[in-house]
Amino acid sequence: MNSEPADPATISDAVSADPKAPRPVRVATGDEHPVTSPLSVHDMTVAYHRKPVLWDVDFDAPAGSLIGMIGPNGAGKSTLLKAALDLIPKASGRVMVFGKPYRQQRHLVGYVPQRESVDWDFPVNALDVVAMGLYRRIGWCRMVSRRHKQSAMQALEQVGMADFAKRQISQLSGGQQQRVFLARALVQDASLYLMDEPFAGVDASTETAIVNILQTLRTAGKTVLVVHHDLHTVRDYFDQVILLNMRIVAHGPTDEIFTPDNLKKTYGGRLTLLDRAAHAIARQGET
Amino acid sequence: MPRPRIFLCLLTLTLFAWPSSVVMASDISSIQDTSMSLPSWDMLLRVLLLKDYNTRVVMFGTMSLGLAAGVIGTMMLLRKRALMGDALSHATLPGIGLAFIVMVQFGGTGKYLPGLLLGASLSGALGLACIMTIRRWTRLKEDAALGIVLSVFFGLGVAILGIIQKMQTGQASGLQSFIYGKTAAMLAQDAKMIAVVALFTVGICGLMFKELKLLCFDATYAQSQGWPILRLDAIIMALIIIVTVIGLQAVGLILMIALLVIPPAAARFWTERLFPMILISAGIGAASGFAGAAFSALLPRLPAGAIIVVVASFIFAMSLLFGTARGIVHRLIDHTNLSRKVAQQNLLRALYERSEGSRSLSKQNLSPIASATSSSFKRLLIARSWSPRKLRRTIRHAISQQLVRSRQDNRYSLTRNGLAEARRVVRNHRLWELYLIHHADIAPSHVDRGADELEHILGPSMVDELLGLLAVKHPELAVPPSPHAINSRSAIGIAGKYRPKTGSSKRT
C-alpha cells in the first residue's frame, strides 16, 4: 500500500477551496536537532480504506515544548497521534522518537487517549487505572507491588485526586476521570507525552489543574503534544502550534503561526468559528 | 415518590410468590409425568452427604466446570465478547460430527470422548477464525459476522449428525447429547479432565491477571504500551474454547454460553473491583454446578445442564435485587437516604431563612436567636413544595438528630447545632447559586451540590471570588460559623497545591 495517489479533488476540498494552496509554512526554531527531536514525523500518510485522512504530514517537535494541535473536526488530529503510536497502520512515512523508531522507545512515550475511548463502568478503582501505567515496567506475569502502588498514589496526588484513589471509576466526574488518565501517563515518567483532547468536557478547575501539570512537565524538560479544540486558550497554553487539516497547514511558535490568516487556511470557510477566533486573537493582542 | 414504594411491594410479592410457584411447578410436573416422583428424605440425605460415588463424580465435574467458566467468563464479559462465546459453542457441533466420522473410518466406535472434544475445539477455532476474517476483510459489522458463523456452523453440524444417523456403522445415539448436555454420562476420567482444564484456566488467568485486566479495560492504551493485544485476545479466546468444549458433555452447546455469562454478570452486582468479581463469579459458577448435579441426582429425568443454568439464573436474580454494590434494593436505600438528606437540608434552610429577617442574628451569639425565631408547621409547609406527610417525617427525623426543637406552642426552631448546620447548608447553597449566576458558561459535570468541599469542585480561586460576592450580600454567611465547617482560608491554602485534605476538614 505504498503512497497510493489519492483523488486530488478530495484533498483540496478538505484543505481549502483554492486549488493552488500555498505550501505548508515551516518555521525553523533555531536550536532544532531533528536527529534527537522527541517526535519527528516524516511524510506520513494515513488512509482508512481508500479515503486519505492524513496526507504527507511532516514535522519535528522541538524538545521541552508545549505543542497544541489545532484543526477542525475530522482534520485527523487523533489519527495523527494513533498513527504515530503504531495503533493504526500508516500508508507511508515514518515516525522517530528521540531518533529511533517508536517500537524501541515505547518507555519514553506517555499516551493519554480520549476519555470516551473506554468503558468507565469497568470494575476498577482510580488507583488501579493509574497503576496500569506501570505494567510495562513491572513486566509479564508479575504482581503490582506495594512500591508500585505508592508511585501510582503519588501520581494521583500530583493531579489532585488522592482522595478518590479507592473510588470506582464510574463514580468520578468527567474531569476527575480525565485526571486519572493523566495520572496514568504521568506515572510512566515519560519524556514525550501525547494527549488526545485532555480538555474535552472537563470542569474549570480540572482545566486549570491540567494546564498547571503541563507547565510543570515542560519545566522538567518534557515535550507535550496536545490535541486541542478551544481556540481562545491556545495562546495562553502553548508555545508551539500545529495547524492541521488533513495535512499540516502551518506549524511553529504560537506567536508567529497562530494568525487569522493561517486559521482561515485551516478551517476553510467556517466563518462563525473564524470570526470568533479572530475576535479572540484581537482580544489577546490588546492585553 | 410512589415509584420506590411500588417497587418494594412488587419485591415482597415476588419473594412470597417464588417458593410457592416452585412447589406448584413441581406438583404439576409430577402429575403429568408419573415416573417422576419427588425424592424421599433418604435420597436427599444420600445426595447431600455425597454418599453416592456417581453423584460425587458428577458434582466434582460440574463444579470444576462452573468455576472455570466463572473465571474466564468474567474476562469474556468485560472484553465484550459474550456473543462471540455463543457463536463459538455453536461452531463446535460440526467438529464433533466430523471427529466421529473420522474415528469410525479408522475402525473405532467413534465414541472416544477426547477425540470428539478435539474435533469440537478445532471447529470452534475455525468458527472464530471465520468471524475474525469476516470482520477484517468485509465491512460487515461484528453482529452480522457472529450471526453468520453461528447459524452456518450449527446448521452444518446438524446436517452432519443427520448423515451419521444414516451411516449404519457405529452407535450415533450419544452424539445428540452434546447439544443439550447429559451429565449422567460423565465418568470419573471425564470429571478429572474437566478439573485439569479448570485448573489450567484458573492458573493462566491468575498468572496474567494484570495483562488481561489492562486488555479488557483499555486495549488501545495496552497496544500503545507495546502489549501484544492480538496474542492476549487469542489467549482469552483459546481458554473460552477449551472451557466450552469440556462443558459440552455436561451442559451442552446451547446452554454453555449461560454458564459463561450469567455468573460474572451476577458477580458484578456485588463488587466494584475485578479480583473479587472473578472470585464471586467462580463461586457462583461452582455453586450452580453443585446444585445442578444434586438436582439431577434427585430427579433423574431433569436435564442437569438446564438445571445448572436455572440455578445460576436464580442466583443472578438474587444478585440483581440484593447485590451490595449495584443491587436494586441497595440503590433504593441509597436513593431514600439521599432524598431524606435533601429534605432535611431544605427544612434547615427554611427555618434559617425565617430567622434571617430577625435582627438578633449575629455571629458570636448563637443560642438566643436559635430559640428566638420559630416557625409554625403551616409556614414551613408553604415554604417548599412538600407534602404534609413528608414534612412531618422530616421534622421528626431532624428532632431525633437534635437539629430542630419542637416548642410547646407547636412551633419549631433550630437548636444550636441545627443553626450551625443550617448556616453551612445555606452558605453552600448560596455559593452555588452565585456560581451558576456568574459562571453558568462553565457548567460543571456530575457535581454533588451537597458536597462539603466546594474548593475541590470549583477550585480555590473560584470559591474566593464567590465568597467575595457573598460577603456583599450576606455578611453573616461569608465566614462559616461552625468550627466543623471548612475554614475558607486554610482550605484554599491546602487545595491550592492540590494536596489531599486532612481528616480534620472533612465532615461526615
pLDDT in tens, B436-447: 666 654 444 444
pLDDT for res B342: 85
The span from the CA of B72 to the CA of B205, in Å, is 7
pLDDT for res B439: 63
Tell me the average pLDDT of chain B: 79
Mean pLDDT of B152-169: 88
- Range with the lowest mean pLDDT among B9-13, B71-75, B245-249, B258-262? B9-13
Phi and psi (nearest 5°) for B495? -65, -25
Phi and psi (nearest 5°) for B179? -75, -45
Give the one of A136, A141, A203 whose C-beta lies nearest to B445's C-beta.
Answer: A203
8 Å CB contact of B272 and A132: no
Give the one of A87, A113, A123 whose C-beta lies nearest to B268's C-beta.
Answer: A123
Q: B65-112 pLDDT, tens per residue? A: 999 999 999 999 999 999 999 999 999 999 999 999 998 888 777 778
Q: Go through chain B and tell me how many residues it has.
A: 508
pLDDT for res B496: 37
pLDDT for res B354: 76
Which is higher by pLDDT, B193 or B367? B193
Tell me the average pLDDT of chain A: 84
pLDDT for res A29: 44
What the block records as the C-alpha cell of B62 is 460440574
8 Å CB contact of A136 and B227: yes
Which is higher by pLDDT, B206 or B53? B206
**Chain centroid offset of residue A147 CA:** 30
Distance from CA of B206 to the nearest CA of A (A): 9
Mutation choice for A interface testing from B75, B204, B220, B224 by most A CBs within 10 A: B224
Residue B503 predicted with pLDDT over 70: no
Mean pLDDT of A134-146: 93
Distance from CA of A208 to the nearest CA of B (A): 9
**Which residues in chain B have Cβ-Cβ distances shorter than 8 Å to A159?**
498
In our burial notation (b when 16+ CB lie closer than 10 A, e otherwise), range B449-472 reads eeebbbbbbbbbebbebbbebbee
Q: What ipTM describes this predicted complex? A: 0.84
Please state, for a pLDDT cut of 70, what percent of chain B lies above it. Answer: 75
The span from the CA of B47 to the CA of B400, in Å, is 54
Q: Go through chain A and tell me how many residues it has.
A: 287
8 Å CB contact of A118 and B274: no
In our burial notation (b when 16+ CB lie closer than 10 A, e otherwise), range B349-368 reads bbbbebbeeeeebeeeebee
8 Å CB contact of B220 and A113: yes
pLDDT for res A279: 66
Cα distances (angstroms) measured from residue A232 to each of A73, B290, B396: 17, 64, 53
The span from the CA of B476 to the CA of B468, in Å, is 12
8 Å CB contact of B273 and A128: yes
Q: Where are the beta strands (DSSP E) in B170-227?
A: none
Residue B222 predicted with pLDDT over 60: yes
The span from the CA of A278 to the CA of B57, in Å, is 79
Residue A3 predicted with pLDDT over 50: no
pLDDT for res B303: 79
Confidence of residue B10 (pLDDT cuts 50, 70, 90): low
Beta bridge partners of A168: A125
At B162, which amino acid appears? G
At A152, which amino acid appears? A
The span from the CA of A234 to the CA of A231, in Å, is 5
**Which residues in chain A have Cβ-Cβ distances shorter than 8 Å to B447?**
173, 203
Q: B351-377 pLDDT, tens per residue? A: 887 776 554 444 445 544 555 677 888
Q: Is B439 an 8 Å CB contact of chain A?
A: yes
Confidence of residue A284 (pLDDT cuts 50, 70, 90): low
**End-to-end CA, chain A:** 51
8 Å CB contact of B224 and A162: no
Domains and CATH numbers, chain B: 39-262 (1.10.3470.10), 336-494 (1.10.10.10)
Q: B387-401 pLDDT, tens per residue? A: 889 899 999 999 998
Residue B159 predicted with pLDDT over 60: yes
Residue B487 predicted with pLDDT over 50: no
Which is higher by pLDDT, B186 or A166? A166
Which is higher by pLDDT, A99 or B476? A99
Q: A66-80 pLDDT, tens per residue? A: 999 999 888 899 999
Residue B323 predicted with pLDDT over 50: yes
Q: A178-210 pLDDT, tens per residue? A: 999 999 999 999 999 999 999 988 887 789 889
Give the one of B217, B220, B462 whose C-beta lies nearest to A87's C-beta.
Answer: B220
Q: Is B324 an 8 Å CB contact of chain A?
A: no
pLDDT for res B126: 95
Q: Please identify which residue in the block is written with the cell numbers 485532555.
A: A198
**Which residues in chain B have Cβ-Cβ distances shorter than 8 Å to A158?**
498
Give the one of A87, A123, A135 whose C-beta lies nearest to B271's C-beta.
Answer: A123
The span from the CA of B136 to the CA of B142, in Å, is 10
**Which residues in chain B have Cβ-Cβ distances shorter than 8 Å to A101?**
none
Please state, for a pLDDT cut of 90, what percent of chain A lies above it. Answer: 63
8 Å CB contact of A129 and B444: no
